[in-house]
Every structure is written in structure tokens, then in C-alpha cells.
Amino acid sequence: MPKLKILLLTLISSLILLSSLFFGQNTINPFDLRGAEKDILFSIRLPRVIVAFLMGSALGVSGAVLQGMLRNPLADPYILGISSGAALAAAFGLVTGSYLFGQLSIPFSAFFGASVVSVLVGAFGWKKGRLLPERLLLAGVGLSFLFYALLMLLISMSSYEGVRRTMLWIFGDLSLADWSLIPYGLVFIIAGMYISVCRSKALNALMLGDDLAHSLGFSAHRERLLFFISVALMTSASVSLGGTIGFIGLLVPHIVRFIIGADNRIVIPVCAVSGGAFLCGADLIGRSIAPPMEIPSGIITAVIGSPYFLYLLRKRDVLGT
């Protein structure tokens, strides 16, 4: 029964969310909030969990949308090269220690870098008035190479500390979560998600092929453009909130589809909730393994994600797909 499964997933996700709020290096008792505990909960944990949830949702939905839009089960939000642009811009800020926008300097730089790459990829992928999936993919991969090369150049020229800060950011740094950051992230992510949720029928149709989508009454090219914008918004906002955390966009849609089926009208909202919970859980683990040191969440998602990804590949092989 699909409704039951959805309910179960939502329940588990909520549990993970609450755990990451109250567990960690130390357990916070919600019924006994004194002084320092209250500060920790509201100034540190709550914004952090909110940011983690936002990022995870954005990545989960972006992955689902891209896999449908490009008809490629291995698509991941970073395939469009957005992460490389964000990483380069953020690295520049971290290495030089620029402080133009105050506390929000790094997130703003990252968002700027992400947006630049999104526009470039869109421009390269555009031909004769439409976005072509193959061109998008190639442009994304090509630009990734370019920007990562520039990033390596920057790293080779910087001091040890600058390099370290950059690496920590690239692997996902949720410790930068702050209430002042959340409204910006929220706006872009909600905007992107809204577009995707509204057009989820179109995404289903796109998965059948452009001609069939057209036959069902959708303009394949316009839908693809809308989805591209939606993914660009969500992914750019996500990396600016806390770095380039991988595997969520790739894996969460697969897991969700495996449990619930491929109908995007359900898959997209469920990916949002599951993706958010997944990252909250990964962050919880990263915070709790070797306290008070924090292991970046991107490493946790990679450690969980890669074996599962390899397992997925094997399974597909067995099915003969």
C-alpha cells in the first residue's frame, strides 16, 4: 500500500530530524532547558538542522528532477557543473579571506559562482531555441573540468590554512549555519521546489520521451527549461548554504523510487522529505563520531553513498537493464 509506505517514510524522516536536534555530542533534554543548553539548542542546533534539512531536500528533489529530465538514472545535481563554480568562488573567498558581505561573504560568493556556471551551462546547452539534454550534460561536464582546474590552481597558490579551510568547505560545512543565512536559502529553495512540484506531471511525461510528452500535451522544450531553472535555483542555494555535499541527489531518488514507484507527483515531495532527513542524519553522525571534532557531512554521505551506489549498479546489472 503506497500510502502506508509514504507515511512510514515521513515518520522515519521526522524521527531522524528530531534526533539530530536533541542528540549529538551531548544529549539535550527538551524538557529541561537551562542556560547553556537553551543557547545551544536555539543558536546552534536548530539553525544547523534547518539548514541541513533545506540542503538535503533541495538536493534530493534536484536529483529526482534531473534524472527524469535527462532520462539518465546517474544524473546528479552536480553533473551540471554547478558545484564546481560554487567551489571555486567559495575557495577564492576562503583563501583570500574576503569579507565584502560580512558574515554572508562565503555563501554569497558560492551562490554567485553557482549562478555563473548555471547560466554558462544553460547557454552552451541551448540550441535553436531549446535546451538539449546531451548538450547540457556535455557542457556541465566540460565546465566542471575547467572550474576544478582553476580551483586546483588556486589551491596550489595558497597557504596551508587557506587550503584546509577550502577543503573543509568543499566536503560540506554545516557549522556555518546561521539564522541570518536561512531566509535566503529558503527563498530560492522553495521557489525551485514549487516549480518542480507544479510541473511533476510534465516530468512524468518527459520521462517517456520528447515526442510522447508532446503527444500528451506538454511542450517538452519549455518544461525542460523550467526544470533546469528550478534545479539551478535549488542547487545553487544548497551549495551556498553548506558546501558541496554529494550523493544525496544521486541516491535519494533511487531509494525513493525503489520504495514508492516512479510517479514524480509523489516522488518529488518524498525526495524532499527523505533527502532532508538523510542529510540531517549524516550530519548527526559526523558530529558524534569523534567529538568535539566535526567530520564534514559530505564525507559521511560519501561513505554511506558509494557502497550503496555500487550495489545499485550491480542490481541493475542483474535485472538486465
Partner 1 sequence: MSSEHNQTILELAGTGFRYSGNKPLIKDLTFSVGNGEFIGLLGANGSGKSTILKLAGGILKPSDGHINLWGKQLGSYSNKDRAKLLCYLPQLLDMNIPFKVGELVSMGLYPYDIPPEISVDDALALVGLLDKSGSYLANLSGGERRRAFIAMTLLQGAGLLLLDEPLANLDIKYQLEIHRLLKDLKDTKNISVIMALHDINMALQFKKVMLIKEGKILGIGEPENVLKRELLKEAFDVDIEVRKQNGGGTWLSYGESS
Partner 2 sequence: MNIPGLHFLYLLVVIFLMLPASLACTEPPKRIISLAPNLTEILYAAGLGEKVVGVTAFCDKPEEAKKNPKVGGMSNPSLESIVSLNPDIVVLTTDGNLREFEERLRSLMIRTYVFKARRISELPGGIRDMGSALGEKEKANYLAREIEAGIRKFSVSLQHPVKKKVLFIIWPEPLIVAGPGTAIDEAITLLGHENIASHSVVSYPKYSIEAVIRQSPDVIFIGKGHIQIKEMSGGLLKKIASVPAVKNKKIFFLGDDLYRMGPGIVKGIGEMSACLN
Binding residues vs partner 2 (CB under 8 A): 24-26, 35-36, 39-40, 43-45, 97, 99, 102-103, 106, 156, 159-161, 164-165, 168-169, 173, 175-176, 178, 287, 290-294, 296
Cα–Cα distance measured from residue 46 to residue 320, given in angstroms and rounded to the nearest whole number: 45
Nearer to partner 2, 40 or 207 (CB): 40
201's contact among partner 2, partner 1, none, with CB below 5 to 8 A by partner kind, is partner 1
Please give, one letter per residue, the 3-state secondary structure of 18-79.
HHHHHCCCCCCCCCCCCHHHHHHHHHHHHHHHHHHHHHHHHHHHHHHHHHHHCCCCCCCHHH
On whether the CB atoms of residues 7 and 270 are closer than 8 A, the answer is no
Which residue's C-alpha cell is 528533489?
61
Read out DSSP for 131-180? E-HHHHHHHHHHHHHHHHHHHHHHHHHS-HHHHHHHHHHHT--GGG--TT
Nearer to partner 2, 45 or 254 (CB): 45
Least gap, CB of 97 to partner 2 (angstroms): 4
Give the DSSP H or E segment for 112.
Answer: helix 105-125
Which residue's C-alpha cell is 542528540?
23
Answer yes or no whether residue 262 interacts with partner 1 by CB under 8 A. yes
Going by the DSSP 8-state scheme, the letter that residue 81 receives in this structure is S
3-state secondary structure of 252: helix
Nearer to partner 1, 89 or 205 (CB): 205
Least gap, CB of 224 to partner 2 (angstroms): 38
Distance of CA 99 to the CA centre of its chain: 25
Cell numbers representing residue 289 in the block: 563520531
Q: Which stretch binds partner 1 (CB under 8 A): 3-11, 107-115, 116-124, 205-213?
A: 205-213
Give the DSSP H or E segment for 249.
Answer: helix 248-260
Which residue's C-alpha cell is 543557547?
39
Among 10, 19, 219, 288, contact with partner 1 (rule: CB under 8 A): 219
Q: Which stretch binds partner 1 (CB under 8 A): 44-52, 93-101, 211-219, 275-283?
A: 211-219
155's contact among partner 1, partner 2, none, with CB below 5 to 8 A by partner kind, is none
Answer yes or no whether residue 321 interacts with partner 1 by CB under 8 A. yes
Answer yes or no whether residue 211 interacts with partner 1 by CB under 8 A. yes
As a dihedral over the C-alpha atoms of residue 116, residue 227, residue 186, residue 275, rounded to 10 degrees, the angle is -110
Among 45, 224, 257, 287, contact with partner 1 (rule: CB under 8 A): 257
29's contact among partner 2, partner 1, none, with CB below 5 to 8 A by partner kind, is none
321's contact among partner 1, partner 2, none, with CB below 5 to 8 A by partner kind, is partner 1
Distance of CA 315 to the CA centre of its chain: 25
Nearer to partner 2, 156 or 321 (CB): 156
Least gap, CB of 214 to partner 1 (angstroms): 5
Q: Which stretch binds partner 1 (CB under 8 A): 136-144, 164-172, 256-264, 296-304?
A: 256-264
Cα–Cα distance measured from residue 303 to residue 299, given in angstroms and rounded to the nearest whole number: 6
Answer yes or no whether residue 137 interacts with partner 1 by CB under 8 A. no
4's contact among partner 1, partner 2, none, with CB below 5 to 8 A by partner kind, is none
Q: Which residues bind partner 1 (CB under 8 A)?
A: 71, 73, 128, 201, 204-205, 207-209, 211-212, 214-219, 257, 261-263, 319, 321
